[in-house]
Chains A and B, each alone.
Chain A
Amino acid sequence: MELLLVILIGVLYATGIFMLLRRSMVKLLIGLILLGNGANLLIFLLGRITKGAPPVIDSAAKFFTDVYADPIPQALILTAIVISFGLQAFAIVLLKRVYVLINSDDLDDLNTPEEEDI
């Protein structure tokens, strides 16, 4: 499971960076999404994947003896997912607006000089 996740994270980061380096804006966005997913999986992996009980101590017991799963990575990932949901929704609307304005998907077309520039 760990090895599979390690390979998957590597693939996600690699494809994400490859997509970022393309000139198309949609591919740029896809690259950012892939990178974000890679980061989320990385947190999940590094938070130790253990199958176990939730870390809640029974009121009768004094110590926790079972194997327990760390809930913090999941909380972190959930937060990161919610944040990236907002960011991606914004980015899609922004790119659509850009497409309407300049009628092109190419990042090189984003350099209209303003009238007051040199």
Chain B
Amino acid sequence: MTDNTLILSVIIHLFTAIVLLALWRKTVAQRIISVVGSVVAMVIAIRLFTAVWDNGILTMQAAGWDAPFGITFVADVFSSTMVLLTSFSGIAVSIYSATGVARGRMLYGYFPILHLLLMGLNGAFLTGDIFNLYVWFEVIIIASFVLMTLGGRRAQIEGSVKYMAMNVLASTFFLTGIGILYGITGTLNMADLSLKIAALENRKLVDIVSIFFIVGFGIKSAVFPLYFWLPSSYHTPPSAVAAIFGGLLTKVGIYALFRVFTLIFIPDEFLRTLLVVLAIFTILTGSFGAVIKNNIRRVFSYLIVCHIGFMVGGLGMYSEIAITGALFYLIHDMMVKTNIFLIAGLIRKLRGTMNMDKLGGLYAEYPLLSLVVALVLFSLVGIPPLSGFWPKIYLFEAGFMDAQYPLLVAIIIGSFVTLYVIAKLWAKVFWKNQPTLPAEENYTDEFKPMSAFRKSLLVVPIVFLMAIALYIGLAAENVALVAKHIARDMKDMTPYIEAVLGTNVSP
């Protein structure tokens, strides 16, 4: 079905960014407009999701050029779910930033860049053209470079050199893949590519091209041998930025992996084994990295890597139920990962440090806040009935059905290490008494002297995202319905292809 308004999710962030740019250096107005823009974006995203859920796949042919010649924008359930989750994260981060980001950063364009980043994310989710996906990826990485370096502390600058080099390299790989793909098929539309690649004789060449895409997206989504840039850069920017990065940027890589490897390249035996092996090592290295680190944000950075492995493993098993599990995990992960970085920022506001050895006594001082944090951390670990628990059931079921025992062992180890790390964090940061520090390292509580309004600006986003995570856990049957719907779409892409190219596609 054609719907020209599906692009509104992109437009709203573009216009918010333009207004914010026009209000250069007026930080109070910028904060208000950023929140308003995010709220409007959320309303639009909810509308888009319900429209797609009720009417099926929506398409828009940009400039009226029909597919496969023009650029098509497609909203299926997968894309619209991602847009919806992005809008939730966006609104939380934009409220949190109002007090969580230093004024100096706002003066140099923090808010406009944040909205350009969100625009890039929505565009990447909605596009149906592989080169257009590349362009949106570039919008995302340029915006993220600026957010990463804004403020310019030494550690931050050092982290962003690694981040920049690896991400530009990933884009080059992706671009090379697109070039070869265009050379062998002569099209860029993803639905058309799906048909043309399936009809291609030279399977070896297709395998080689798919490796380019695995490497390109693998760097972006931090898969095993390519993830080292992530833990060495994600702990440096301000927490609000780290939240957007941790919650959304690696997940857009995962989105692209799922999209490309279910629509264009259908994984054969070799690719599936490759993805499963990568997933196993990603889980193991990520979780062991998390054990030895002592800085809260570094621990969380390694946990991102560990949990990326769960999703890649689900894609590697490639049965419908495995993909359901991986998608459920993706939905849960986007909400919880954004939240834990916001919590890390809040802890820094409370104590001025993120070193677990120097922290303590938060439960005694802020019992209610600690309970909220506990719920989020339990969701992350996956204590039943919270959100992290349900996707693992699907993954286990799929693993036993396919006899993927090494991956199952890795998932179990990954889950237990996550539990151990989070328990350690909880015990060290919240339960143990505040250690007596040497006088020169004495902390100042920035949170307590704040006015109630400013306090609520920090706490409300965390509670909001926690509520969504609770909904994902307690109303798991609704979320599972969405995940199953997407997985069914992925196993049989004919509806997608027909929606994009018109109804003349013979199966």
Contacts and interface: CB of A to CB of B under 8 A. Distances in A.
B345 to A, nearest CB: 14
A52 interface: no
Contacts of A94: 145, 149, 157, 160-161, 164
Given A87-B142, A95-B161, A112-B154, A118 B169 contact: no
A116 B152 CA distance: 18
Interface in B192-212: none
A86 B138 CA distance: 10
Interface stretch (B175-183, B258-266, B410-418, B491-499): B175-183
Contact of A42 (B152, B179, B355): B179
A101 B157 contact: yes
B404 interface: no
User: How big is chain B's contact interface, by range?
Assistant: 35 or more
B162 to A, nearest CB: 7
Interface in B217-260: 235
Contact of A98 (B145, B158, B172, B235): B158
Interface string B359-380: 0000000000000000000000
A80 interface: yes
Interface stretch (B29-37, B85-93, B95-103, B293-301): B293-301
A112 B162 CA distance: 13
A87 B180 contact: no
Contact of A43 (B142, B169, B179, B355): B179
B145 A101 contact: no
A69 to B, nearest CB: 14
Contacts of B158: 98, 102, 110-112
**Which residue of B142, B161, B188 has the most chain A CB atoms within 10 A of its CB atom?**
B161
A81 to B, nearest CB: 11
A10 to B, nearest CB: 13
A47 B182 contact: yes
A91 B169 CA distance: 13
Given A32-B172, A43-B182, A102 B154 contact: yes
User: How big is chain A's contact interface, by range?
Assistant: 35 or more
B295 A117 contact: yes
A72 interface: yes
Given A32-B168, A117-B294, A112 B155 contact: yes
B131 interface: yes
Contacts of A86: 142
A65 to B, nearest CB: 19
B354 interface: yes
Contact of B155 (A32, A73, A114, A118): A114
B164 A101 contact: no
Given A94-B145, A98-B157, A112-B158, A117 B176 contact: no
Contacts of A117: 294-295, 298, 355
A118 B354 CA distance: 11
A98 B291 CA distance: 31
**Which residue of A20, A101, A116 has the most chain B CB atoms within 10 A of its CB atom?**
A116
Interface in A36-60: 36, 38-40, 42-43, 45-48
Contacts of A112: 154-155, 158
B40 interface: no
B358 interface: yes
A101 B158 CA distance: 10
Contacts of A63: none
Interface string A98-118: 100110000100111010111
B434 interface: no
Contact of B176 (A42, A83, A101): A42
Given A91-B164, A116-B354, A117-B295, A76 B157 contact: no
B135 interface: yes
Nearest to B168: A32
Interface in B305-351: none
A45 B179 CA distance: 9
B451 to A, nearest CB: 28
**Which residue of A45, A72, A114 has the most chain B CB atoms within 10 A of its CB atom?**
A114
Interface in A74-88: 76, 79-80, 83, 86-87
Contact of A91 (B168, B178, B353): B168
B452 interface: no
A6 interface: no
B131 A76 contact: yes
B175 A80 contact: yes
Contacts of A114: 155, 235, 295
A32 B138 contact: no
B439 interface: no
Nearest to A75: B131
Nearest to B139: A83
A2 B236 CA distance: 46
Given A39-B176, A76-B178, 17 more contacts: A25-B161, A28-B165, A32-B168, A35-B172, A36-B172, A36-B175, A43-B178, A43-B183, A46-B182, A72-B188, A83-B135, A94-B145, A110-B161, A110-B162, A114-B235, A117-B298, A118-B295
5 contacts: A40-B175, A90-B146, A97-B149, A114-B295, A118-B294
Interface of A: 20, 25, 28, 32, 35-36, 38-40, 42-43, 45-48, 72-73, 76, 79-80, 83, 86-87, 90-91, 94-95, 97-98, 101-102, 107, 110-112, 114, 116-118
Name the 6 nearest CB pairs between A and B, nearest first. Answer: A46-B183, A43-B179, A116-B355, A110-B158, A39-B175, A42-B179
